[in-house]
Amino acid sequence: MHRTVITGMGVVSPLGSDLGTFWSRLVAGTNGIGKITHFDASNFPVQIAGEVKDFNVDAFIDPKAQRRMDQFTHYAIAASAMAVKDSGIDFAANDPYRCGCIVSSGVGGIATTEAEVLKMKEKGPTRVSPFCIPQIIVNIASGMVAIEHGLKGPNYAVVSACASGLHSIGNAMRIIERGEADVMLAGGAEAAVSPISIAGFAALHALSRRNDDPAAASRPFDKDRDGFIMGEGGAVLVLEEYEHARKRGARIYAEVSGFGQTCDAFHMTAPADDGQGFARAMGNAMKEAGVTGAQVDYINAHGTSTPLNDRIETAAIKAAFGDEAARRVMISSSKSMTGHMLGAAGAIESIVCALAIHNGVVPPTINYTTPDPDCDLDYVPNTARETKVEVCANNSLGFGGHNACAIFRKI
Q: How far apart are CA 402 and CA 163, in angstroms?
A: 7
Q: Is 375 annotated as catalytic?
A: no
Contact yes or no for 206/228 (Cβ under 8 A): yes
Residue among 167, 302, 358, 402 flagged as catalytic? 302
Q: How far apart are CA 88 and CA 81, in angstroms?
A: 11
* String of DSSP letters for 19-37: HHHHHHHHHTT----EE--
Q: Tell which residue, 341, 136, 384, 358, has the closest CA to residue 236.
A: 341
Cβ count near 134 (within 10 Å): 18
Q: Tell which residue, 311, 252, 266, 262, has the closest CA to residue 285.
A: 262
Residue among 74, 340, 358, 402 flagged as catalytic? 340
CA angle 333, 339, 341 (to 5 degrees): 100
Contact yes or no for 201/266 (Cβ under 8 A): no
Q: Is 99 annotated as catalytic?
A: no
Name residues whose C-beta falls within 8 Å of residue 33's C-beta, 6 or more positions apart in sequence.
14, 48, 49, 50, 214, 215, 217, 218, 229, 337, 339
CA angle 221, 227, 233 (to 5 degrees): 95
Q: How far apart are CA 289 and CA 411, in angstroms?
A: 13
* Size (the chain), residues: 411
Residue 325 CB-density burial (10 A; 0-12 exposed, 13-18 middle, 19+ buried): middle
Q: Tell which residue, 386, 325, 350, 130, has the closest CA to residue 258.
A: 350
Name residues whose C-beta falls within 8 Å of residue 87's C-beta, 6 or more positions apart in sequence.
7, 8, 238, 240, 250
Q: Is 162 annotated as catalytic?
A: yes
Paired strand residues for 255: 5, 409
Q: Tell which residue, 266, 213, 284, has the closest CA to residue 399.
A: 266
The DSSP secondary-structure symbol of 230 reads: B
Residue among 99, 162, 375, 405 flagged as catalytic? 162
Q: How far apart are CA 328 and CA 294, in angstroms?
A: 8
Question: What are the catalytic residues?
Answer: 162, 302, 340
